[in-house]
Each structure stands twice: as structure tokens, then as C-alpha cells.
Amino acid sequence: MSGKLAVIGTGPGNPDQTTPEAAAAIAAASVFFGYGPYLDRLSLRPDQRRVASDNREELARAREALATAAGGEHVCVVSGGDPGVFAMAAAICEAIEAGPPAWRALDLSIVPGVTAMLAVAARAGAPLGHDFCAISLSDNLKPWPLIEARLRAVAGAGLVIALYNPISKARPWQLGTAFAILREVLPWNTPVIFGRAAGRPDEAIAVASLAEADAGRADMATCVIIGSPETRLIERPGLAPLVYSPRSAGSVS
Amino acid sequence: MSGKLAVIGTGPGNPDQTTPEAAAAIAAASVFFGYGPYLDRLSLRPDQRRVASDNREELARAREALATAAGGEHVCVVSGGDPGVFAMAAAICEAIEAGPPAWRALDLSIVPGVTAMLAVAARAGAPLGHDFCAISLSDNLKPWPLIEARLRAVAGAGLVIALYNPISKARPWQLGTAFAILREVLPWNTPVIFGRAAGRPDEAIAVASLAEADAGRADMATCVIIGSPETRLIERPGLAPLVYSPRSAGSVS
């Protein structure tokens, strides 16, 4: 029972954005569980074993990782970004709560990382410079009407919105519907940032107004940030514009 | 005009949580601007100059950093955590927008980091495992009634809430009032996490119910996370409890 379980985040994907703490956790582990593309980012040694699974099998993966750690192995569960933001740390906790008592006694560590919205925001300026929220647009695990209600509530309250899991083959219409809802609440010139693969070689950052925001620009690797009514855009000759949310906010709407 | 400006985040304070990208930006710069305690975290060389200022002088600091970079120096502006979350990146953008045209042409890079709520969440389990928001409790730059309205809106919508700048000598009552407002909206057994100095030697993580949450536990170095009605607590014999927000959410309230 000397097993250990580390749940780590690699950051957005550029090794320069992986913390030394996460790198040390990777070096110390013997078995790795995660979504295949995330495991592909690691440079594992021949003595380190990888167990890849699909990205919709989080709970089964969590159970297998916990059982392996309880068996005495040094296990690393790998998320992209931060493991606590729409990623494996919650699945591990769910599995612990429903699992055998021995899993509660495991040596568990959760290692934070740079989550996608922070990497995208840094490329665009400072869109998260004031109050903001992160909402998953996936209705696999929550009903769509709840997502709609949350979008209306946070946009109406003046928060910047970062959308995770904006679109997939199985969820093609949700992002377009989200934009339509937000057009009912927010000014149409509100800046929208499509941040794809921030920090990686295939990075693509695009800015559009809410009026012109096209859901077709997003894919599974995209984090979409929608400004608040206070969010501003600074044009820069020969450079991409800066999008930022001022530190001060006005009156109660 | 070969000046450069990098706006970086050191992460929560433990050097193991500073990304290699931020470390490289620190190594490459010649002049450093920031709040004194954040600059104290850096191990600067004798040829690197530091300009410390108070934490309520962000805009003046931003202007001075921009002017210095425009003068040809390689400048680094230092935030704790992530520079885009209630930190210097927004102040830099504000100064650029209001400043001379030359500032828009500067070689500007913003380097993301691990922000406090991610570090605190990792220590506690996975409280940010579902939809969440980050709200600054400082009413220096926005009216208090707006903060109250936002707290009611996000708690009512079922989001987990991370509070930045919860308390200071000049703002002693706001956190207690925030708890009182949230007790009107949320179940009194909702978990509240007081995360102080996560990852640093003086780290202190405490969990209380919303009913018993005492604002006196927080100080300027604390990030307070308040669960949603879905957030759960797992007791662990001999270990701190795990607090997590399940990936699935129920019906529309």
C-alpha cells in the first residue's frame, strides 16, 4: 500500500508552460492514465507505462487509476491545462467518494497548471482582467436549459465568459445557440475571442464582434472568450488588436 | 526603439509553480516593475534593476514600465499568480489605450501563470470541477452594490465562486457581508475554502460550512472559494477532507 496518485495538468501544450512541479510529478511516476493526445505530449522513459483512453471515459479511467495506485504503483493521471478545470481531478474525487474505503487513504496530490482560458487571454491582451466565469458548453453531463440559464445570468451580471468544450462532432449547434442567446443580452460589438491551441505551434487567435461571431471558427481545441459590456478593443497598427476588460466597472445595471 | 515589455505571472509563489516561459522572461529582462513582495520572489542578477511600488499604484506603475520600454529597455512587469487575473495585464492595456501612439507599437508579451484559485483548488480537491467564476471583492474600483448583485446572480445560477482580494485593512467588512448575502441564496452547509498562500511555506488551507464561515480567517493573501449547491465534501480518516464539484449538474433551479 505504498502507492501514490498524482493528478497533474500539463498546461496548454507548450512544454514551456508546464510547471517544474508537474514535470517532477511526471518524472516520479511509473504508470500514466489519460486521453491519448495529452499523453502524447509527455516524453516518457522506456520504464514508464501509458494507458490511453477516450476523452469521454473519465470516470472509468479514474477508477482504473485509483485501483492501480491502491495496488502499490506510482500513478500519474494527466490532464491538459489545469486538472481541476473541467478535467480529471473532479472525476478522481467522484470515484473516490463512490469507491472502496482504501481509496480515501491513498497518497493523493493534485498539481495545478495553466488552464486554457489564461493562455488564450494572455495572447489576446487582458480580457479576464475583471470579474469572469468559466462555463462548459457540453450538455453531456448537464441539461442544456441549465446552460442557457447560466449564460443569461452571467452575461446579465456583467461577467466576462470563458467557454470550455464549445463544440464537437456530437454537439454541433450549442455554440451557435449560445451566441444567439448572448446577442439578446450583450451589446453586439462585444469582443469575442476564438483561442485555438494557445502556445502550441498550430496556435490561432481570432477576434470578432459578437454580431459577427461564427461558431464554425471553433473546434474541440478552442476556448472561446466573450467580453462583458465593459470589455474594450485597442487597435494596433501592424499588430493584432489588444482585448481587455478594465479593472474598474461602472454602475449597477 | 528596440525596447520590449513582458508582463509575467510568477504563479502562487512557490518557484516550482513558475513556468519555464516566465523564468525565461525574467532572465531576459533588465528592469523589473512590480509590487515589492512579488519582486522579492525573484532571484535577480546584479545587472537587473528593480523598481518596487505599492499594490494600489498599478496604473502609475504601468505607465512607468511602458515609458521605460519605449525608451529602449527590456522591461518585465511582475504579477503574482497570473498577470491577466486581477493583476497587471489589464493595467498595462489601460495605460496603452490612454497613452502615446508609440506604446501601441511596443513589442509586448503577456506570459500566463497559475492563478491563486487553481492552486487553492488543487490543495482542496476539485472545487472548480464544474462551472465557476472569479470575482474581486475590492470596491476600490467598482461600487459595492454591483458586487452584491453579481454575488446573488452567480450563486443563484449555481456557479462555484472564487473570491479574490477578499479583505484588507481598508476593506474590513466586505467579506462578512458577502457571506451574509450568500447565506440568503445557498444552502448553509455549502463548503467554503479559505486558501492562504497555497504552495508556499506558510500555506494554510481551511474548510468550513457557509454557516460557520468566519471572515476573520481571511487576509490579503487568501483566496476564498465558495461551493455551489452541488459541491460535495469527502471525509478522509487522518487526512484533510476533499472538496469537489461533480462534473454533472442537475436540473434548472
Which of chain B's residues have a Cβ under 8 Å away from the Cβ of A158?
A: 146, 150
Of A17, A110, A237, the CB nearest to B21: A17
**Model pLDDT, residue A250:** 65
Report the distance separating Cα B43 and Cα A132, nearest Å: 32
Report the distance separating Cα B155 and Cα B160, nearest Å: 7
Report the distance separating Cα B168 and Cα A70, nearest Å: 44
**Model pLDDT, residue B251:** 55
Q: Which of B150, B185, B235 to mutate to test binding with chain A, by most A CBs within 10 Å of its CB? A: B150
Report the distance separating Cα A141 and Cα B250, nearest Å: 9
Is residue B94 within 8 Å of residue B173, measured between CB atoms?
Answer: no
pLDDT digits (tens, 9 = 90+) for B154-195: 999 999 999 999 999 999 999 999 999 999 999 999 999 999
Which position has the higher pLDDT, A47 or B1?
A: A47
Q: How far is B43 from chain A (nearest CA, A)?
A: 16
Which of chain B's residues have a Cβ under 8 Å away from the Cβ of A193?
A: none
Q: How far is B221 from chain A (nearest CA, A)?
A: 18
Question: Which pLDDT band holds residue A251 (cuts at 50, 70, 90)?
Answer: low
Unique residue bearing C-alpha cell 467598482: B142
Unique residue bearing C-alpha cell 513556468: B19
Question: What is the strand order of the sheet A239-244 is part of?
Answer: A125-126, A239-244, A232-236
Q: Which of B1, B59, B86, B94 to mutate to test binding with chain A, by most A CBs within 10 Å of its CB? A: B94
What is the mean predicted confidence (pLDDT) over B216-235? 97
Cβ contact B252–A96 (<8 Å): no
- pTM: predicted TM-score of the whole model, two decimal places: 0.97
Domain boundaries, chain B: 4-114, 117-244
**Model pLDDT, residue A199:** 87
Which of chain A's residues have a Cβ under 8 Å away from the Cβ of B134?
A: 128, 131-133
Residues present in chain A in total: 253
User: Three cell numbers at A132?
Assistant: 469572469
A117-244: CATH architecture: 2-Layer Sandwich (3.30)
Question: Which pLDDT band holds residue B56 (cuts at 50, 70, 90)?
Answer: confident
Question: Which pLDDT band holds residue A253 (cuts at 50, 70, 90)?
Answer: very low
- Domains B4-114 and B117-244 fall in the same CATH topology: no
Q: What is the ipTM of this complex?
A: 0.97
- Gyration radius of chain A over CA positions: 20
**Model pLDDT, residue A56:** 77
- DSSP secondary structure letter of residue A45: -
What is the CB-side half-sphere exposure of residue B182 using CA atoms within 13 A?
34
Which of chain A's residues have a Cβ under 8 Å away from the Cβ of B18?
A: 19-20
- DSSP secondary structure letter of residue B186: S
Rounded to the nearest integer, the mean pLDDT of chain A is: 95
Of B84, B93, B158, the CB nearest to A118: B84
Domain covering B4-114 in this structure, CATH number: 3.40.1010.10
Report the distance separating Cα B107 and Cα B115, nearest Å: 24
pLDDT digits (tens, 9 = 90+) for A221-231: 999 999 999 99
Buried b (16+ CB within 10 A) or exposed e, B104-140: bebebebbbbbbbbbbbbbbbbbbbbbbbbbbbbbbe
Q: How far is A55 from chain B (nearest CA, A)?
A: 14
Is residue B115 within 8 Å of residue B7, measured between CB atoms?
Answer: no
Cross-strand partners of B130: none
Torsion (CA) A39, A44, A46, A48 in degrees, nearest 10:
-70
Is residue A222 within 8 Å of residue A120, measured between CB atoms?
Answer: no
Q: Which of A118, A161, A234 to mutate to test binding with chain B, by most B CBs within 10 Å of its CB? A: A118
Q: How far is B46 from chain A (nearest CA, A)?
A: 25
Unique residue bearing C-alpha cell 474600483: B141
Q: Give the three-class secondary structure for B26.
A: helix
Report the distance separating Cα B235 and Cα B238, nearest Å: 9
Which of chain A's residues have a Cβ under 8 Å away from the Cβ of B87?
A: 129
Query: What percentage of residues in chain A have a pLDDT greater than 70?
Result: 98
pLDDT digits (tens, 9 = 90+) for A72-98: 999 999 999 999 999 999 999 999 999
Q: End-to-end distance of chain A based on CA atoms, in angstroms? A: 57
Residues 6+ positions from A3 with CB-CB distance below 8 Å? A68, A69, A70, A71, A72, A73, A74, A75, A106, A107
Residues 6+ positions from A167 with CB-CB distance below 8 Å? A137, A174, A175, A215, A218, A219, A220, A222
Report the distance separating Cα A225 and Cα A203, nearest Å: 15
